[in-house]
């Protein structure tokens, strides 16, 4: 190894980069595998059938729709992986087609019969008894027929509009043997898709709504002959946009986009396998579709409503139920007498020590919601600010902001109107907030606001203090039960001041480009991440240990991928936990032998982002300090941004450093656990394919099950004072929480304090430096410095820096001890 600059190897070869669309479909294939795997509990297989339908619907609306737009615009530019829009469009549809077929076959051949064996029958209409058919005919006539509006296509009627993702029945009719007429009947979305026919102690029988309609068309079409029927589902492009810079009002623009989406270009037609050719040709012609865009399938064309079956009380067919647990740090709190010194409030807990939240293992309501609720009612809170990307339709988060405004607090909300498919919900919340007199920002030109951040400003005995929440997930109580996300609650003033700048940008003219601790996109994050990756490469070239471990949803940005290739070539060990899209190929000779890529697919959607840079820490004791590139402590970050071009350049994102030792320990464990998982992890091969990890004869390690167990232990064991114990007998500890360097004794004289904060707690007589520092977490922090490990805030607002724990403890005792 040498310290020379990395070789100028050409990394532009398209073979080094996987295609974004095909990589996303690989992830959807892994999700589908959960439904295909007969080891998965039956109702969980049903749930994954529904999830695959939802995910592929969105893929066609967003990704295929976008590619089709490019094709129609004549775009021929190749992506970094060497494909034109048309080539991507063709390959993506060809890769998706067998997934639809596998889904349908799995339902017909495995899941439906297994459900019937378990007493849950989804019956064909013709298999119902005469009494049951009579019951369904009455149901149709009284509860369904009045909602139907048949739309015919003939010389007197234009071809009917077919709405996006609607399930429809094409009906060919004839009067007195004359020419046939095409009529579209929309399957009503406000009626149950699974109609219960009958139930006994041992069996429940359902029939699909479209089959009830099909069997009783004589009531809808009297005095004509029904010749043929065919079920179909249409998908339209969701990539409709207006130029923000010429839009007079962002709200008007978003409303127009929502409306345009209804009439957007068709991008996929799913059709019953036995549909008559005349119906197929008519739909293709009238919807201006390519034959490639037609997918013929047997069985139901949409499995989303099958999700309702997972609500059945059948624990024998389901995974063990899970209830998010209270956080150990917040147990026993009642809020105290808010505003009174030493009250037992959530702010006291955060002020003493940062808190890591891990959803859905920790309850959203008892942590994030509690933070906002207490802020809304605390008389000492001056202001609350929050960035809302997605939230629940009955959001308690929004209600907290309203309550805060009614209690006289200054409230500011950033509600992102361009959050795709949540635009309508967010528009309604904007109007509600503005009706309550709350200042609402709802977008910035050219950028989406994707930060998951909130800020509480509170008047306290020693001045105004800032309490921050920096997270990886949305302020959404619903998704917090099914998405794996992290959040950090901190009273760190530097993070708070950074958030002040970010929130000021939402209503002000420009985004500041200087931040104390946070990495903020699009101004600092890309450059900082690039410098951290290059620093690891420099450590490796200098012969120091170097390692990167990154957990995210997607790794798509070509420039970051190239930096990772170069770091691997320099000798950096790189472990990537990437749930979804990954352009990087591991195991390429001379390029990425030092890279591993894993994807975890399990009951909860992995959504958290954690970034670890070892920073040469293992050899820090043998290095000179103070110069760029020299060894220091490992670094941990969490936040909202994936390593995608859109996140780094086109969104407002926030990633925070984690300095608290206990939180680092928990993040270390989460990363180690993902790397050790031998049950729900998939390992990427050098050709971009994935192989599922198998435990074999080794002890089973399943990430989400372990974390559920850890959350239960933390909630029930008083000796656990953090969110999870972060210890497991089969999970090795190879990542560092702090430098292994031997601390030098601090010899420099300490400055005398001009004044002493009489409200600060008195340290225990125990002289152990770590004990002293743990007693005074609110007055020191770990600075972003290659030379100093500790920064101590002085009572007069200045900073004192020290290299060692002993030196830092000495300063703390001198400044804040009354003994």
Distances (CA, A) of 50 to 32, 167, 436, 572, 624: 10, 15, 38, 41, 57
Among candidate residues 71, 199, 215, the one with its CA nearest the CA of residue 141? 215
Q: How far apart are CA 733 and CA 592, in angstroms?
A: 24
For residue 202, the model assigns a pLDDT of 76
Residue 483 DSSP SS3: strand
Spatial contact of 63 and 21, defined as CB atoms under 8 Å apart = yes
What secondary structure letter does DSSP report for 265?
P
Query: b vs e for 205-235, b when ≥16 Cβ sit within 10 Å of the residue's Cβ?
Result: bbbbbbbbbbbbbeebbeebeeebbbbbbbb
For residue 246, the model assigns a pLDDT of 38
Q: How far apart are CA 80 and CA 273, in angstroms?
A: 37
Residues in CB range of 243: below 8 A, 6 or more apart:
none
For residue 768, the model assigns a pLDDT of 76
For residue 621, the model assigns a pLDDT of 45
For residue 742, the model assigns a pLDDT of 35
Query: 10-residue block means of pLDDT along the chain (819 residues)?
Result: 52 95 98 96 98 96 92 92 96 97 97 97 95 96 96 88 94 90 95 89 91 97 95 87 45 49 79 94 95 94 95 95 96 57 79 97 96 96 90 81 92 72 61 74 78 96 95 92 97 96 84 91 97 97 94 98 97 97 96 96 97 85 43 91 96 96 97 97 97 95 98 94 94 85 37 38 55 84 72 77 76 73
pLDDT per position as a tens digit, 480-491: 999 999 999 999
Instruction: Examine the residue annotation and report whether 450 is marked as an active-site residue of this protein.
Output: yes
Q: How far apart are CA 272 and CA 295, in angstroms?
A: 9
Q: Give me the residue label for tokens 């029988």.
A: 205
DSSP lists the bridge partners of residue 384 as 411, 456
Among candidate residues 194, 235, 271, the one with its CA nearest the CA of residue 56? 235
Residue 799 DSSP SS3: strand
Main-chain phi, psi angles of 254, to 5 degrees: -65, -40
What secondary structure letter does DSSP report for 362?
B
Q: How far apart are CA 78 and CA 54, in angstroms?
A: 29
Identify the helix (H) or strand (E) that includes residue 464. strand 463-471
Q: Give me the residue label for tokens 């300490």.
A: 750
pLDDT per position as a tens digit, 775-805: 888 888 887 665 567 888 888 676 777 767 8
- Pairing of the two strands 573-578 and 595-600: parallel
**Annotated active-site residue in 362, 450, 476, 728:** 450
Spatial contact of 212 and 125, defined as CB atoms under 8 Å apart = yes
What secondary structure letter does DSSP report for 108?
I
Tell me the pLDDT of the chain averaged across its residues. 87
């Amino acid at each position: 190894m040498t310290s020379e600059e990395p070789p100028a190897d050409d990394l532009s070869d398209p073979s080094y980069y996987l295609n974004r669309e095909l990589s996303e479909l690989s992830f959807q294939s892994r999700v589908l595998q959960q439904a295909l795997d007969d080891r998965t509990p039956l109702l969980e297989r049903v749930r994954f059938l529904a999830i695959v339908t939802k995910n592929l619907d969105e893929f066609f609306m967003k990704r295929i729709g976008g590619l089709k737009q490019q094709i129609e615009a004549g775009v021929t530019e190749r992506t970094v992986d060497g494909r034109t829009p048309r080539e991507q469009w063709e390959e993506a549809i060809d890769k998706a087609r067998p997934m639809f077929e596998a889904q349908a076959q799995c339902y017909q051949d495995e899941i439906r019969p297994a459900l019937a064996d378990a007493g849950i029958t989804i019956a064909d209409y013709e298999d119902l008894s005469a009494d049951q058919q009579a019951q369904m005919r009455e149901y149709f006539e009284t509860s369904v027929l009045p909602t139907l509006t048949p739309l015919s296509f003939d010389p007197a009627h234009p071809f009917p509009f077919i709405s996006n993702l609607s399930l429809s029945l094409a009906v060919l009719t004839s009067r007195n043997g004359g020419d046939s007429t095409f009529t579209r009947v929309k399957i009503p979305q406000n009626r149950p898709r699974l109609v219960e026919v009958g139930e006994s102690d041992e069996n429940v029988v359902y029939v699909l709504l479209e089959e009830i309609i099909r069997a009783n068309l004589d009531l809808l079409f009297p005095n004509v002959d029904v010749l043929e029927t065919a079920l179909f589902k249409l998908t339209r492009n969701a990539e409709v946009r207006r130029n923000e810079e010429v839009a007079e009002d962002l709200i008007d623009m978003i409303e127009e986009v929502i409306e345009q989406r209804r009439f957007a270009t068709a991008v996929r037609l799913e059709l019953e396998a036995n549909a008559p050719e005349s119906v197929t040709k008519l739909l293709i012609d009238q919807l201006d579709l390519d034959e490639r865009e037609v997918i013929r399938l047997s069985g139901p064309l949409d499995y989303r409503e099958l999700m309702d079956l997972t609500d059945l009380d059948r624990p024998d067919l389901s995974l063990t139920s899970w209830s998010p647990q209270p956080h150990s740090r917040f147990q026993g709190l009642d809020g105290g007498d808010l505003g009174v010194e030493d009250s037992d409030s959530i702010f006291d807990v955060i002020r003493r020590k940062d808190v890591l939240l891990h959803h859905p293992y920790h309850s959203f309501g008892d942590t994030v919601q509690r933070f906002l609720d207490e802020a809304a009612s605390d008389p000492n809170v001056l202001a609350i600010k929050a960035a809302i990307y997605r939230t629940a339709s009955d959001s308690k988060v929004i209600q907290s902001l309203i309550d805060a405004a009614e209690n006289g607090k200054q409230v500011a909300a950033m509600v992102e109107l361009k959050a795709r498919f949540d635009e309508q919900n967010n528009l309604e919340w904007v109007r509600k907030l503005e009706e309550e007199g709350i200042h609402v920002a709802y977008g910035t030109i050219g950028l989406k606001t994707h930060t998951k951040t909130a800020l509480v400003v509170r008047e306290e005995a020693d001045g105004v203090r800032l309490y921050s929440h920096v997270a990886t997930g949305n302020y959404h109580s619903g998704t917090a039960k099914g998405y794996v996300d992290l959040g950090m609650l901190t009273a760190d003033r530097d993070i708070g001041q950074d958030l002040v700048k970010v929130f000021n940008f939402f209503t002000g003219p420009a985004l500041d480009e200087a931040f104390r601790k946070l990495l903020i996109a699009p101004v600092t994050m890309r450059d900082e991440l690039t410098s951290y990756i290059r620093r690891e490469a420099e450590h490796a070239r200098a012969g120091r240990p170097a390692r990167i471990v990154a957990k995210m949803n997607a790794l798509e940005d070509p420039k970051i991928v190239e930096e990772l290739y170069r770091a691997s070539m320099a000798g950096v060990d790189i472990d990537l936990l990437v749930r979804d899209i990954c352009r990087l190929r591991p195991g390429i000779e001379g390029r990425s032998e030092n890279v591993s890529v894993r994807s975890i697919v399990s009951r909860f959607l992995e959504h958290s982002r954690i970034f670890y840079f070892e920073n040469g820490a293992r050899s820090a004791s043998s290095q000179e300090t103070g110069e760029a590139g020299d060894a220091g402590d490992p670094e941990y970050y969490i936040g909202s941004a994936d390593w995608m071009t859109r996140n780094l350049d086109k969104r407002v994102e926030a990633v925070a450093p984690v300095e608290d030792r206990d939180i680092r320990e928990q993040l270390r464990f989460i990363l180690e656990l993902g790397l050790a998982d031998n049950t729900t992890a998939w390992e990427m091969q050098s050709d971009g394919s994935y192989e599922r990890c198998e435990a074999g004869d080794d002890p089973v390690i399943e990430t989400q099950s372990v974390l559920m167990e850890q959350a239960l232990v933390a909630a029930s064991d008083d000796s656990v004072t953090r969110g999870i114990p972060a210890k497991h007998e089969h999970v090795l500890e190879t990542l560092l929480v702090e430098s292994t360097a031997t601390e030098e004794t601090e010899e420099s004289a300490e400055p005398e304090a001009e004044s002493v904060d009489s409200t600060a707690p008195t340290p225990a007589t125990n002289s152990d430096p770590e004990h002293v520092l743990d007693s005074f977490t609110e007055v020191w922090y770990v600075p972003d410095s290659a030379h100093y490990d500790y920064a101590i805030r002085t009572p007069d607002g200045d900073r004192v820096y020290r290299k060692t724990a002993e030196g830092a403890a000495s300063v703390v005792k001198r400044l804040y001890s009354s003994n």
